[in-house]
Structure 1
Amino acid sequence: MKAKLIRALSYGGGLLIVSFGITMTILADLGTGAWDALNVGLAMKTPFTVGNWVIFIGIILIIVNALITRSRPIVLSLLTIVLLGYFIDFWLIVVFQHTLFSGLLLQLMILLLGIVILAFGASIYLQAEFALLPIDGFMFAIRDLLGVKIMIAKTIAELIALIVAFLFGGPIGVGTILVTFLLGPLIQWFFPRVGKKLNWKTAH
């Protein structure tokens, strides 16, 4: 019972922290990760919110992933993207509405803080070993389709998102570069340390 509770809290709490980190990178206004830039760009061009587009793009990727891998869509991933989408809108619309950060140094600090928080949240969410985000599923689908290494598949997926984000005027800048190169190593650093603290597999 305790293990299930820890797993549920890791899943929900981790996604909440991830959404806060993403929000910080958006509010820093120095550029966000490729997929977040795509969601922001689409939100700027349509009546829908950033969180809405997290859900819409997630649904599209669930379908695309199923077609590429010739398997059934991972329906559980819907819960992940719905939670993440609503959490992001909660921070952007309810908590930080009309919040603007000015000054390059402050913006850079907010951006770096957001990346660290995002990595920390991801390391918690991943401990639950529940449904992956469709973005991660897309990366694995590309790997299987092209027979390439996971880092190459990740690069291809990021480039696709970056190109579409650019076409829709998404926030691409120094933040995009920092997110791309810092996020992976930070998650790797946090993951085993968070795992030792949670240790839900041995909890009773």
Structure 2
Amino acid sequence: MKIRILFYLIGLFLMGFGVTLTIKADLGAGAWDALNVGLSTKIGLTVGSWVIIIGIVLMFLNAFIVRGKPKLLALATILLIGFSVDFWLLVVLENFQFELLIYKVFSLIGGIVFIAIGVAMYLQTKFPANPIDQLMISLHERFHLNFMVSKTIGEVCALILAFFLQGPIGIGTIIITFLIGPIIQYINIPVSKRYEMLLKR
């Protein structure tokens, strides 16, 4: 159980760090992150607060889609991701800005890798999924869409909202949208093996 909790917490913490790096790169954040930044800029509250608010909204939306009850345990995942994003964005990297393009590119790539590692780690634990990931699963279950189509629908909806809220959309957004899935799948293999090895000790 200790290994499971450790993977869960470290995974979400690394995921938050990755999200922060993609935002700080200023080349375009992921669709949902761009939405959260846009809401923070237009309305107020921290980016992490909007991660939590949007997560709660999606939690009830997912329940409506599958005609079931909200997965309230997902609140823990939502709160931890929101806290992690604010910790890295407002405490650790608040005054850190990348001026040169090469550093921005490294920040974007590093952010994608850290998000992928974080997601791969926390998914091993089988704890409640991030409502964004659950949205893909809900659309798949209700409408029998494949995961790629379900994921794309969620990303496009977030992207449209982020566009109207003038969130940080750019080339990085496109790169994240198309690369994050394959990278998570690639990283998931060694992470899964390591997790299984630690559980057997």
For the aligned pair, the TM-score class normalised by the smaller chain equals over 0.9
Q: Which moved more, 1:166-175 or 1:193-202?
A: 193-202
Could you list the per-position Cα deviations for residues 46-104 of structure 1 after superposition, in whole angstroms to 9, with x for gaps in the alignment? 22100000000000000111111111100011000100001110001111112111121
Q: List alignment gaps of at least 5 residues for structure 1.
A: none
- Distance in 1, Cα, partners of 2:25 & 2:100: 10
Could you list the per-position Cα deviations for residues 140-174 of structure 1 after superposition, in whole angstroms to 9, with x for gaps in the alignment? 12223332111111111110000001111110001
2:10 maps to: 13
- Distance in 1, Cα, partners of 2:55 & 2:47: 12
Q: List alignment gaps of at least 5 residues for structure 2.
A: none
Residue 168 of structure 1 pairs with residue 155 of structure 2: no
- Distance in 1, Cα, partners of 2:5 & 2:187: 19
SS of the residue corresponding to residue 31 of structure 1 reads coil
Q: CA deviation at 1:200?
A: 6.2
Could you list the per-position Cα deviations for residues 105-153 of structure 1 after superposition, in whole angstroms to 9, with x for gaps in the alignment? 1101110111011101111111111100000111112223332111111
- Distance in 1, Cα, partners of 2:185 & 2:197: 19
Amino acid at match of 1:198: Y
Amino acid at match of 1:145: R
Aligned residues: 201
Selected match of 1:38 from 32, 35, 40 = 35
Could you list the per-position Cα deviations for residues 17-36 of structure 1 after superposition, in whole angstroms to 9, with x for gaps in the alignment? 00000000000000011000
1:147 maps to: 144
Q: CA deviation at 1:203?
A: 2.5
- Distance in 1, Cα, partners of 2:153 & 2:137: 11
Runs of 4+ aligned structure 1 residues displaced above 4 Å come to none
- Distance in 2, Cα, partners of 1:195 & 1:141: 24
**Would the alpha carbon gap of residues 200 and 78 (structure 1) be closer, same or farther in structure 2, given more than 3 Å must change?**
farther
Amino acid at match of 1:114: G
Q: CA deviation at 1:201?
A: 8.0
1:136 maps to: 133
1:39-118 matches, cutoff 5 A: 39-118=36-115
